[in-house]
Chain A
């Protein structure tokens, strides 16, 4: 099991000066670089990348730190060497013309040489000394000094001379890298590690279950702390990159900026603002739950914000993704055209894990995206053992985080299994985890979505029904029935029932109103009738009075 390195004191005292290599990650695990002014041994089997590491050390020394370098090639000619490293963008000829670099080919042909009597290697010293002095070299590579053993037979002299050579290099004050080819169970064939005792770095290249893996390990580093793990490394387009398993120090910056998931209703569930920038998001779910669709939304939203997005598809080709996403109303084609979106589609089995990592690495270095989608990440688990996959993903997440890239990973979980266990066991590395699941109920399947975790932000605890429509993904309003959250047709039924109830109560009201109206009319009729009766009685009384009073009046008047 890979473990974090032993805890180092917070501020290690820099007892010895270090010489930065400029190689991504190597300075991190050596805590600053190789021992300055001392020789370092790089050993490993054939083809493990010793020469490339050594050459990159020199080239970066020149281009990044202004330190001229001398490369002594015992095996390859100057031309071969130049051709071999040209693929990584190292132009040895140009550096040589600028008098920053000397590549010295030292050839030993045993067949041409006969040894008689006593000798020393002063000739080599003179050549090195002259080359170092002529350009003021601060860095020297001897690749592979053990070739001397195949050219010369007197090992007693050779060993004494090598010891003298390393001592001499120290007095010259150059930081030297000596490569040595490892035999079985031995660091180097001729045991030169005993002369180069300050720093020993071991490279390893092996194939595990058809997957090639390169590893680097700092075996020994006198007078300083260093990472003691085996770290994977890659040889990419820009040279070597060592990928610390997980950053030795967790020093990622934590952004509080929020970015939209591309689905407004999902943003709502995440406190109304979406994901935190620079975090890793896992979308897991069984087949067909809409993981890629959410990823496409996310990418589209990023591109609309004028950010760059990198989409790595390992199950569908670029055109398939485009077509499938168009069916839910997400058109990614214009984003590809205007350069805000870049695709990389390849089956994981096509190359080793490492190669994919290199590609992602190179793409990130080259394209500098703000958003990365890996869809799906579970496809990698079939290649290489789970430990390797996990460590690769850890490294990937570290890389992305260190660059403040927001990354979305989709993960296919097997149906029937525990939904909350992601296959690769990377969920603990993720900052946000959205789970998509099938809700089987009432004879149908519906999609449900919930936020399992979202570090550093408020989020909804609801399970929401999730629909893929012609206009993209949509989360439906929560519909709670007597038996919990309702989805699909149960939801429709519940809604219909509620509507019917509403109708019914409306009718009641109208009936009552009509009834009342009826009664009012009745009342008013009766009032009118009574008033009529009353008025006729009144009139009758008035007539009687008029008749009586009329006679008296006549009588009274003259």
Chain B
């Protein structure tokens, strides 16, 4: 079971920082798929300016209320505002990118 782990990938300083939080419950296939999908997506589109926080509610149930988590997995975009929630295993990357507002503003970098 993954502990609540904080995986920081070279947080870039400045305004362009993306703070993403992924809620999962235990090491189910769906949880692992979500983590992998997110990782891949961020590396591809947000390289160097994002941080991912994975929270395992199976271990920390009290953390669910804060972000009003019901469905799992849920990806929460904490930064930049406004807050966005994307639920599901993030397998549909096109959708996720739209949800994160990454698709339209997709600039090379």
Residues of A within 8 A of B (CB): 104, 106-108, 112-124, 126-127, 129-130, 148, 151-152
Contact = CB atoms under 8 A, between A and B. Distances in A.
B35 interface: no
Contacts of B58: 126
Contacts of A118: 30, 88-89, 91
9 contacts: A116-B87, A116-B91, A117-B91, A118-B30, A118-B91, A124-B71, A126-B57, A126-B61, A127-B61
Given A123-B23, A123-B74, A126-B57, A115 B68 contact: no
Contact of A120 (B65, B71, B92, B95): B71
Interface residues of B, number: 31
Interface string B22-42: 010100001000000000000
Contacts of B89: 116-119
Contact of B68 (A108, A119, A148): A108
B86 A116 contact: yes
B62 interface: yes
Pick from A113, A114, A115 the residue with the most CB of B within 10 Å: A114
Given A119-B88, A126-B57, A130-B61, A114 B95 contact: yes
Interface in B56-90: 57-58, 61-62, 64-65, 68-74, 82-90
Contacts of B88: 115-119
A104 B83 contact: no
Nearest to A113: B85
A75 B96 CA distance: 28
Instruction: Report whether over half of chain A's contact residues are helix, strand or loop; otherwise say mixed.
Output: mixed
B98 interface: yes
A117 B92 contact: yes
Contact of A106 (B70, B92, B95, B98): B70
A119 B62 contact: no
B99 interface: yes
Contacts of B87: 113-116, 119, 152
Contacts of A122: 25, 57, 71-72
A117 B25 CA distance: 16
Contact of A114 (B69, B70, B72, B84): B84
A425 to B, nearest CB: 55
Contacts of B72: 119-123
A121 B71 contact: yes
Contacts of A107: 68
A493 to B, nearest CB: 91
Nearest to A148: B70
A127 B23 CA distance: 13
B25 A114 contact: no
A304 B90 CA distance: 81
A114 B65 contact: no
Contacts of A114: 84-87, 95-96, 98-99
A119 to B, nearest CB: 4
A113 B100 CA distance: 11
A116 B92 contact: yes
Pick from A106, A112, A118, A151 the residue with the most CB of B within 10 Å: A118
A121 B70 contact: yes
A126 B64 contact: yes
A111 to B, nearest CB: 9
A104 B65 contact: yes
A468 to B, nearest CB: 71
Contact of A119 (B30, B82, B84, B98): B30
Nearest to A161: B71
Give 8 nearest A-B pairs by CB, closest first. A117-B88, A130-B61, A114-B99, A123-B69, A116-B95, A117-B91, A117-B89, A116-B88
